[in-house]
Structures are given as C-alpha cells and as structure tokens.
Amino acid sequence: MVKILDCTTRDGGHIKNWNFSDKFVLNLIDCLEKSGVSYYEIGYRNFYDIEGKGKFYRCKKDLLQKFYSFKKNLKIGVMTDTKRYNPQDFPNGKEDYIDFVRIACHPDKIEQTLEITQNLYNNNYKVIIQLMDISNVSDEEYKILQKWAYKDIIETLYMADSYGTLEPADVEIYYNKLKNAGYEKISFHAHNNRDLAYENTIQAVKLGAYSIDVTLNGIGRAGGNLDAVKLLGNLKGFTPEYYKKLTI
C-alpha cells in the first residue's frame, strides 16, 4: 500500500511563515497517527535567511524533542536544501530527534546532493531525495542518477511538480524515466496550480508510487498542495476524518 507523507507545517510554512503553535503540531501528530500516515515532515532545518521566519523553519534539535517524544509509529523528519545544507546541522542521527532528512535538489545540484546523501547516511540519517522541477531534469542529469552506485541507501526518490504544471501523462513519463534509471521506490509531490494535484497523484499511485504527499486543506506554496481529506477519503486503508477536526 502506498505510504503518505504529510508536510503541512513544512510546505504550509510558506503561507504561515513557519509559525505554528505547539498545540496545533501535537494535535496534527495525533491526527496523522490515527489516519495511518507514515511520514510527517515537520519543517525545514535551515539557518540561512531566517529573518521573519518561525521556529519550524529552523527545527533545532531541542525544539523537536517534545514532538518526537509524543509520537508513536509516525516517522518525523525535516527538509533541507542542497544550497543551504550545512553538515554541522546534522551531526549524528542517533542523537537527533528526527527519523529522516529530505533534501530538496534542483536539477543542477544533483551531483552535490548525492554527495550530501552519502554523508547524511554515514551519519546515521535516513535520507529522502526530492528532485525539484522534475520537468527540467536533463538527459545528462538522468545519467548521473543512473550511474550513482548507492541507490539502495535512500528511503525513496521523490519527483516534485514544483510549479504545478504537470498532467497525468507527464507524471507517467517522468516516473518511467526514473524507473529506467534504476530507482525502485519512486514518490510524488504535487502542487495544485492547475487544480490537477489529485489527478496527478492518483496517476502516481497507479504507477506504483512508494509515497505521496498531502497537507491539511491543501495548504502550501503557490497553488498549494494536495488536500489530505480529498486523497485519504478515496484511498482504502486511510482515515481522513481526523483531519476534519483540525484548524490551522
């Protein structure tokens, strides 16, 4: 069964400036546990350009302890960006309060991202790579991905419809390109600029996606993300009712 990743407080932070109350986050974690969601991306761990941005933009270790202690089976993680990554921010996964790190990787940063992935893995972190702007990944960049010898160390490889421009047929094309490059666990992150986030995500599920992303009420950058209730209400094995009780 496909896994679900909720990124309400990470991607929704672009709308709320990463200012969420502890009470809301604890209630959200409880909702995710009850809904059958596997992953929760609680925010960014970035320390560049932080002025005016809330605590869930930085996600310091001591901030996350409270939430990590509260959760049960849910995997909590943070996102970093290749151009903002600092190895000092991720010293050792065994002493941190996160279960995974997702790296936002733009097409021109793939080689650098793969090096960072190996470093994080060696420091005991589970790693997810997210290919941003998937439609602009070149043939040469696919070759770099194909030649990488450590594909098995990542939790999954995401393709992101960063600007909400894809249609279901495009999702299939890029999914198959990654498949042909040797990746088995391929995931999908939708944006809803053209009101196609649901259709594109369902296409990814049909293709065999490992994981797909949702947020509460579809909150997120630009056109927003896929509304959790809309998706979970149409997938067997998931309970969307708990989301309906939450307000941001």
**Predicted local confidence at residue 48, as pLDDT:** 87
**Predicted local confidence at residue 56, as pLDDT:** 98
**Predicted local confidence at residue 178, as pLDDT:** 98
Instruction: Tell me the torsion sign for CA atoms 52, 57, 59, 60.
Output: negative
Asked whether 79 and 44 are in contact (CB, 8 A), the reply is yes
Asked whether 45 and 78 are in contact (CB, 8 A), the reply is yes
Question: Is pTM, for the whole model, over 0.85?
Answer: yes
Q: What is the pLDDT along the chain (248 residues), one digit of tens a residue?
A: 999 999 999 999 999 999 999 999 999 999 999 999 999 999 999 988 889 999 999 999 999 999 999 999 999 999 999 999 999 999 999 999 999 999 999 999 999 999 999 999 999 999 999 999 999 999 999 999 999 999 999 999 999 999 999 999 999 999 999 999 999 999 999 999 999 999 999 999 999 999 999 999 999 998 999 999 999 999 999 999 999 999 98
**Predicted local confidence at residue 207, as pLDDT:** 98
Residues ≥6 apart with Cβ < 8 Å to 241: none
What is the separation of C-alpha 223 from the centre of its chain, rounded to a whole number of angstroms? 17
Burial of 163 (0-12, 13-18, 19+ CB in 10 A): middle
For residue 37, what are the CA distances in angstroms to 6, 71, 74, 168, 220? 7, 12, 7, 24, 18
Whole-angstrom Cα distance, residue 187 to residue 51?
A: 32
Q: Among all chains, which residue has been given the structure tokens 């309400």?
A: 8
**Predicted local confidence at residue 152, as pLDDT:** 97
**Predicted local confidence at residue 49, as pLDDT:** 85
Asked whether 217 and 14 are in contact (CB, 8 A), the reply is no
Question: What are the two backbone dihedrals, phi and then psi, of residue 99, each rounded to the nearest 5 degrees?
Answer: -100, -20
Q: How far apart are the first and last CA of the chain?
A: 29
Asked whether 56 and 20 are in contact (CB, 8 A), the reply is yes
**Predicted local confidence at residue 50, as pLDDT:** 87
- CATH code matching the domain that covers 3-245, chosen among 1.10.760.10, 3.40.50.300, 3.20.20.70, 3.30.500.10: 3.20.20.70
- Domain extent listing, the chain: 3-245
